[in-house]
Structures are given as structure tokens and as C-alpha cells.
Amino acid sequence: MTQGKRGSRKPSPLQIAKHGHIAVIIRTQLAERKWTVPDFHERLGLKRTASAAYNWLSCAGAPSPEYVRKMAKLFSLPASEFEAREPDAEQLPAVLAAPGYPTVGPAKPAVRSPPPAGDVLGFSVGADGMARLRLDVRLPLGLAAPLLRVLLDAGIVMTGDRPDGE
């Protein structure tokens, strides 16, 4: 899941496919009855400050069998309406390829995550007593330039003939 407002997480396409119908039913029923989520919790026998329904409304999961029975009775609907659904084999590739949340208005550009870091710093000493340092970092120019100056001032970055023969 990805981060949303106030630290909440947006559901993945697979979670929406599995639990989205539950969220729609609950939202519709609450709106028809003009109930808030705390009102709903109270009618399920939970504390008003419980968080269970928020998980169902955000598609994070399906209710347990106990709450499936309670909601079915409360809303006069079949219990099967509140159970998770598995996307069939034909739907699954499309579900997994879908973006997380439909956007309203212009789509935001995709944010690329950096490639895995791998070994950032390597250090080895050869049989001839020569040390080999490898530093692989990607920094904004404003941070990279001072680091380069420090290395140059320390004599770490060498020019001309290299003592290791490379």
C-alpha cells in the first residue's frame, strides 16, 4: 500500500479487487442511515473509538466471520456480501497491473524510485599491500561537490599514474 493523507495507506489493486465491494456496501449503508463510523461500531457491539470499520472501508481487509454475521443481520443482506472475493485467473493480471487509486483531475507524473543501492562502499587489500576503495553514491550536486573537494584535499582522488596499475 502507498501512503495517503494523514499517514493512511491507499489500497493496492489486489486489495481493492478482494475487499472493495465490502467498502462500497458499508459506505452506502452508512450514508442511507446517516450513521458515522463510530455509530456503526456501536451497533456492531464495539467501542465507538474502535478502528475495525476503518480497515474495511480502506479495503485493508475483510471482516472476521463474527462481524460478517453481525453486518449481514444489521443491514439485512446475505453474509456472502461481506466476504473477501478472489479475482479469477483472467482478472488477476489486469488487477495486478492496475494503478492503486483512480485519480480525479490530471494524473501526477510517476515518481521513480532509485535502483537498489548494492554495495555503496567497498574496501579490499591486495596481496601487494595496496588498498582498493570503491565508493558508489548518487548525490545532488550541492552535496557531491563538497564531498569531492574533501577527497581531493585528502589526496584520495588521484590523477595521472595510478599505483594499482589500472
Q: Are 149 and 159 in contact (CB under 8 A)?
A: no
| Chain segment 55-111, per-residue pLDDT in tens | 899 888 899 999 999 999 999 999 988 888 887 666 665 555 555 444 344 444 555
User: Would you state the cell numbers that stand for residue 142, as one nine-digit string?
Assistant: 550541492
Q: What is the mean pLDDT of the chain?
A: 74
Residue type, 166: E
SS3 state of residue 146 = helix
In this predicted structure, the answer to whether residue 7 has a pLDDT above a threshold of 50 is no
Region 23-51 average pLDDT: 92
SS3 state of residue 121 = strand
Region 32-48 average pLDDT: 93
Q: Domain spanning 2-97: which superfamily? A: lambda repressor-like DNA-binding domains (1.10.260.40)
Q: Are 100 and 12 in contact (CB under 8 A)?
A: yes
**What is the model's pLDDT at position 143?**
72
SS3 state of residue 127 = coil
Phi then psi for residue 129, to 5 deg, are 85, 5
In this predicted structure, the answer to whether residue 127 has a pLDDT above a threshold of 50 is yes
What are the C-alpha distances in Å from 76 to residues 45, 134, 156? 17, 67, 75
**What is the model's pLDDT at position 19?**
85
Q: Provide the β-strand partners of residue 132.
A: 124
| % of the chain exceeding 70 in pLDDT | 63
pTM score, whole prediction: 0.52
**What is the model's pLDDT at position 46?**
93
The full set of domain ranges for the chain reads 2-97, 121-154
